[in-house]
Amino acid sequence: MPRVLCVAEKNSIAKAVAGILSGGRSSRRDSPSKYIKNYDFTFDFPFAGTSSVTMTSVAGHLTGLDLDQAHGWGKCPIPQVFDAPIVDIRTKDQQKMAENIKRECRNADYIMIWTDCDREGEYIGWEIVQTAIQASRSLQGNVFRAIFSHLEGGHILHAARNPARLDQRAVDAVRTRMEVDLRSGVAFTRFLTELLGSKVERDLGQRNNQRPIISYGTCQFPTLGFVVDRFERIRKFVPEKFWYLVVAIPNGTDTTVFQWERGHLFDRFAVAVIYELCLETSRNLANVSDIKSKPTTKYRPLPLTTVELQKNCSRFFKMSAKTSLDAAEKLYQKGYISYPRTETDSFPSNMDLQSLVEQQVSDNRWGSYAQSLLTGSTSNRFKWPRAGKHDDKAHPPIHPIVSSGTGLDNENEKKVYEYVTRHFLASCSEDSKGHSTTMTLQWGNEYFTANGIVVLERNFLDVYVWMKWETTKQLPNLNLGQEVELSSYLMKEGQTSPPNQMTESELILLMDANGIGTDATIAEHIEKIQQRNYIKKKKVNKQIYLIPTTLGISLVHGFEAIGLEDSFAKPFLRRQMEVDLKLICEGNKDRAEVVNDFITKYQEYYGLTSTKQNKLIEIYTDIKSVM
DNA sequence: GCAAGGTC
């Protein structure tokens, strides 16, 4: 019987796919790596007929990239880093995984790659193939690739029966990013550390007498840039005075305030003239010029992505992105929730979501809500979730798998589980419905509005307890055209206020929107620039803000002074990289061309930076003296 | 001692 080796990106996929292809009749063996199991069964592949199959996996990348030995730190002039030879290396864990692949493919006739169907997965697939060929050259022409985007049985069977090939363009794109990130990161990290490390060490007065690393990374710097940018906008903020009109009418024992349709104006004289005109024309009398009444909706949340989970755990629980992702990872390993790193915000149409809701019926916090979704008498019955526009082609939205019951004792895991579950139930609910009334008053020739909301059906809000939507005070009962006596009519003064300091939730949003990092790495970059002492957390009242340090501010302004602001502290260069990687994937540029473009750019930046290195030192010294 | 990206 022909032998086929299948390799997935992680054990959870290998296990699930083996279960489906074997019809639940696979047998499991251990491997040299504790993260990895091998599953044996038979399956009828179109390219081989009925075959003896081993399904295994790696755990992420199987190799890493580094400069060769001769170009280690201190062993060569830094600019050589831009064209030094690059070698593939393996950590201890990766060696064990590779050993398993080599051992399992020795007798194999075919290899089929089952890594995630995204760019990075394609590269990992390539790493697996390279490793396999080292052990068995005859496999070379017998490599297939399964195309799948979720783990539903029919879909996986279809993928097994319709093998494709690895996409070399995607492999090239990833290799390009790796090489550019490595060379630029290593070169500028060594340069900045040599230039500023000892100085910063003296200023920090560190206990361990270790020269700190002043690193550059293609994601670290734009992330720092966002934080410094906000800090500077606040520091440079000059409040501006403005003036506005506001009127109120009696409403029972209280009053209702109407806001000026013009908002506010920065010209005091103009507002005063308008005010006088209104007084002359209408004294204290106004007319109800418009009443608009319409149904209004508060939408249930979209299916949950990693970025959304991190933003909301930061907002709702003041948890750092790293903490919430770590907790989610643990919950995934324990089998409570689905894979936690996903960009997908719509569920595959054939998923059985109702039975996932059913799992939650036993919980004493939201069980009765789950029950009412399935069988309740209200109009808030199970409703298929909204579909967002993102699909990473690898993982479904994050959702609970089984009820945690009382099985969790870690506080962070408890909170994240509760968030994932309430979010899931909310996404399977009806939108919240209300009624909104807007009343407009005309006073003189000016218009003023007041708004009232009545919440009619709370629906998903009953389970999504962190979101507020309340019925407001009711508007006075008046008819269109009716004349009313104003209880107050005032000209007021106000002033513009600076933006708030950056929260972690906002930083995640900015990184995501600008393509800095991925769902799996955004949290790490934020951690990293704290470790590097570029930013720090500061607690004000109950809010936690991210504030740049002297060093962080100096680096951004230093590169600004050199003329490299846009390339270093802004997201543009990273975005350009993404654009070029797409072009490689589409076959419109090749790897050598893009690597060469970027490395040439970085060599120029390096030349400029070393010529003007005194600027970096001066600016650091200046900023330190005023902070 | 350096990057970013996977995953545990």
Tell me yes or no: is domain A3-165 CATH 3.40.50.140: yes
A5 has pLDDT over 70: yes
CA/C1' separation A235–B1 (Å):
35
**Cβ contact A62:A128 at 8 Å:** yes
The pLDDT score that the predictor gives to residue A208 is 66
A582 has pLDDT over 90: yes
Strands A432-443 and A285-298, bridge-based pairing: antiparallel
CA of A197: nucleotide with nearest C1': B1
Mean pLDDT for A37-59 is 97
Q: Which residue is nearest to nucleotide B6 (CA to C1')?
A: A60
- pLDDT bin (cut points 50, 70, 90) of residue A206 is low
A66 touches strand B (CB under 7 A): yes
- pLDDT bin (cut points 50, 70, 90) of residue A111 is very high
A121 has pLDDT over 90: yes
Instruction: Report the distance separating Cα A476 and Cα A19, nearest Å.
Output: 65
- pLDDT bin (cut points 50, 70, 90) of residue A393 is confident
CA/C1' separation A166–B3 (Å):
26
- pLDDT bin (cut points 50, 70, 90) of residue A307 is very high
Structure tokens at A230: 């906000």
- pLDDT bin (cut points 50, 70, 90) of residue A604 is very high
A93 touches strand B (CB under 7 A): yes
A209 has pLDDT over 80: no
Structure tokens at A96: 């064990």
Least confident of A263-277, A398-412, A482-496: A398-412
Mean pLDDT for A87-104 is 96
What is the CB neighbour count within 10 angstroms for residue A359?
16
Domain coordinates in residue numbering, chain A: 3-165, 172-236+501-626, 241-288+436-495, 306-427
Q: Which residue is nearest to nucleotide B8 (CA to C1')?
A: A35
A190 touches strand B (CB under 7 A): yes
A354 touches strand B (CB under 7 A): no
| Neighbouring residues of A607: CB distance < 8 A, sequence distance ≥ 6 | none
The pLDDT score that the predictor gives to residue A21 is 97
Instruction: Report the distance separating Cα A482 and Cα A478, nearest Å.
Output: 7
- pLDDT bin (cut points 50, 70, 90) of residue A207 is low
The pLDDT score that the predictor gives to residue A405 is 80
Percent pLDDT > 90 in chain A is 92
Nearest to A319 by CA among A508, A544, A529: A544
CA/C1' separation A69–B5 (Å):
22
- pLDDT bin (cut points 50, 70, 90) of residue A402 is very high
Mean pLDDT for A440-455 is 96
A541 has pLDDT over 80: yes
A141 has pLDDT over 80: yes
A215 touches strand B (CB under 7 A): yes
Structure tokens at A538: 């500061």
| Neighbouring residues of A112: CB distance < 8 A, sequence distance ≥ 6 | A4, A5, A6, A7, A45, A143, A144, A145, A146, A160, A163
Structure tokens at A143: 């490599």
Instruction: Indicate the fold that domain A172-236+501-626 takes in CATH.
Output: Topoisomerase I; domain 2 (1.10.460)
Work out the widest C-alpha separation in chain A, in whole angstroms. Answer: 99
Residue A136 one-letter amino acid: S
Mean pLDDT for A498-523 is 95
Nearest to A310 by CA among A522, A465, A544, A537: A522
Q: Is A596 exposed, middle or buried (0-12, 13-18, 19+ CB in 10 A)?
A: exposed
The pLDDT score that the predictor gives to residue A202 is 87
Mean pLDDT for A224-242 is 97
Question: Which CATH code of 2.70.20.10, 3.40.50.720, 3.40.50.1970, 3.10.20.30 fits the domain covering A241-288+436-495?
Answer: 2.70.20.10
The DSSP H or E segment spanning A441 is strand A432-443
- pLDDT bin (cut points 50, 70, 90) of residue A232 is very high
Instruction: Report the distance separating Cα A209 and Cα A212, nearest Å.
Output: 9
CA/C1' separation A2–B1 (Å):
49
The pLDDT score that the predictor gives to residue A407 is 83
Q: Is A619 exposed, middle or buried (0-12, 13-18, 19+ CB in 10 A)?
A: buried
Mean pLDDT for A524-539 is 96
Per-residue model confidence as pLDDT tens digits over A125-134: 999 999 999 9
Instruction: Report the distance separating Cα A529 and Cα A542, nearest Å.
Output: 23
Q: C-alpha A483: how far from its chain's center?
A: 53
Mean pLDDT for A568-597 is 95
**Cβ contact A288:A480 at 8 Å:** yes
CA of A515: nucleotide with nearest C1': B4
Nearest to A278 by CA among A440, A445, A441: A445
Instruction: Report the distance separating Cα A149 and Cα A166, nearest Å.
Output: 15
The pLDDT score that the predictor gives to residue A377 is 80
- CATH superfamily for A306-427 is Topoisomerase I, domain 4 (1.10.290.10)
A189 touches strand B (CB under 7 A): yes
CA/C1' separation A491–B1 (Å):
63
The pLDDT score that the predictor gives to residue A244 is 98
Per-residue model confidence as pLDDT tens digits over A245-258: 999 999 989 999 99
- pLDDT bin (cut points 50, 70, 90) of residue A376 is confident
A416 has pLDDT over 70: yes
Question: Nearest 5°: phi and psi at A320?
Answer: -70, 155
Per-residue model confidence as pLDDT tens digits over A348-370: 988 899 999 999 999 999 999 99
User: For all residues of chain A together, what is the average pLDDT?
Assistant: 95
A276 has pLDDT over 80: yes
Torsion angle defined by CA atoms of residues A64, A68, A74 and A80, in that order, rounded to the nearest 10 degrees: -110
A578 touches strand B (CB under 7 A): no
Q: Is A239 exposed, middle or buried (0-12, 13-18, 19+ CB in 10 A)?
A: exposed
Q: Which residue is nearest to nucleotide B1 (CA to C1')?
A: A213
CA/C1' separation A517–B2 (Å):
18
Mean pLDDT for A441-465 is 96
Strand B, nucleotides < 7 Å from a protein CB: these are 1-8
Instruction: Report the distance separating Cα A7 and Cα A26, nearest Å.
Output: 15
Q: How many CA atoms lie within 13 A of A359 on its CB side?
A: 19
**Residues of A with active-site annotation:** 339
**Cβ contact A585:A119 at 8 Å:** yes
Q: Is A613 exposed, middle or buried (0-12, 13-18, 19+ CB in 10 A)?
A: middle
